[in-house]
Amino acid sequence: MAKDFRQQLKIEPRDEAAAEQARQHIDQLTKPLGSLGRLEALAVELAAITGQAFPEVAPPGVIVFAADHGVAAEGVSAYPQEVTVQMVANMANGGAGINVFSRQIGAIQQIVDVGVAREVDAPGVKNRRIRAGSGNLLREPAMTREEAVRAVETGIESAVEIIEKGAKLLIVGEVGIGNTTPSSAVLAALTGADPDEIVGRGSGLTDEGLRQKKEVVRKALALHRPDPNQPLDVLASVGGLEIGAMAGAMLGAASRRIPVLLDGFIAGVAALLAVRLMPNASHYLIAGHRSQEPGHLHVLKVLGKEPLLDLRLRLGEGTGAALAYPLVEAAARMVREMATFASAGVSNK
């Protein structure tokens, strides 16, 4: 990959001709006009994304990026940092929530270590470690700009790999203790949002822990003063390796006209980063669900996306998107498999 991936990737705008063809076909299906509501709009959106009036989204691909965060030392998580490597091993053994839901939807699964603090000794985990955890953003930059670029490039490459294995839709998840803190910092840096309004409890902080976490984000932003017009520098100063990789995976999928079904808060922040890097990426994003993290609603508003589900989830890993996937597949199947009035011999109004 060349030094600037943005010069190598081409992300096309929506295919409006395919969208219109899908819209006209949907209006001929054996149902009252508009009676399948948002499912019809979703099918048209899939046509615009894929460039196919009769889109296919099966099988989905699920990539989970894993990394640690130096800021975990500041007490911003309810869990100790060693849980990251333990959870990656659990995922490798198929025991995590995302494994269960991935199996349910027949997904191609991939786990990628981009920066876990300890080396992961588990079968099936791709070693793409850029460094052993990010720096403590309260006291130093999370990573160098070069490492930020490598994180994004690793995500692009991972997306291309899973697409070449047959994935027709991409779900991007994450695992990493403390990662809602850099996500909050990236969101505040890119949008100017007040940390008091967007920082949440993450994995279950107490009131005192939440107050500390907000203060950490506020101080980190004051220390680094990241420029919102330089998204790579925002990632480098206050972000996380898996956040960069997630953004890269979304860009890689968009460059192949593959829909990206977004998970919760961290995935939403990664999506915002991807859109700030390459604005056309926005056309390829579908919001799977709304997380309980307060910052997620802010992200969705900035992205202009309406979530398909609201189940009060806050696990991450890609679980919310995996649960929303059957709705996306239903939209695609509706276009491809429902009869029209003419083909079924049913009288239209």
Whether residue 214 has pLDDT greater than 80: yes
Whether residue 93 has pLDDT greater than 70: yes
> How is residue 127 written in tokens?
């070693």
Whether residue 1 has pLDDT greater than 50: no
Whether residue 344 has pLDDT greater than 90: no
Whether residue 222 has pLDDT greater than 80: yes
Marked catalytic residue, from 147, 242, 317, 329: 317
Q: From CA 338, how far away is CA 325, in angstroms rounded?
A: 19
Confirm whether 14-55+334-344 and 60-328 share one CATH topology. Answer: no
Contact 171, 60 (CB under 8 A): yes
Q: Report the pLDDT value the prediction gives residue 133, as an integer from 0 to 100.
A: 97
Q: From CA 54, how far away is CA 57, in angstroms rounded?
A: 10
Report residue 252 CA to chain centroid gap.
12
Whether residue 218 has pLDDT greater than 70: yes
Which CATH class, in words, describes the domain spanning 60-328?
A: alpha beta
Flag whether the pTM goes above 0.75.
yes
Contact 319, 4 (CB under 8 A): no
Mean pLDDT of 209-215: 92
Q: Report the pLDDT value the prediction gives residue 2, as an integer from 0 to 100.
A: 43
**Residue 125, number of CB atoms within 10 A of its CB:** 20
347 falls in which pLDDT band (50, 70, 90)?
confident
Whether residue 299 has pLDDT greater than 80: yes
E strand or H helix that includes residue 87 = helix 83-92
- DSSP structural state of residue 349: -
Q: Report the pLDDT value the prediction gives residue 3, as an integer from 0 to 100.
A: 57
HSE at residue 275, side-chain half, CA atoms within 13 A, is 21
Residues contacting 323, CB < 8 A, separation 6+: 101, 288, 289, 309, 311, 313
User: So where are the chain's domains?
Assistant: 14-55+334-344, 60-328
Order of all β-strands in the sheet with 285-287 = 125-127, 108-115, 60-67, 169-175, 260-262, 285-287
Higher pLDDT, 7 or 172: 172
Which of 1.10.1610.10, 3.30.565.10, 2.60.120.260, 1.10.260.40 would CATH assign to domain 14-55+334-344? Answer: 1.10.1610.10
Whether residue 304 has pLDDT greater than 60: yes
Average pLDDT for the chain? 96
Q: Is 317 a catalytic residue?
A: yes
Mean pLDDT of 141-170: 98
223 falls in which pLDDT band (50, 70, 90)?
very high
Whether residue 85 has pLDDT greater than 90: yes
Whether residue 61 has pLDDT greater than 70: yes
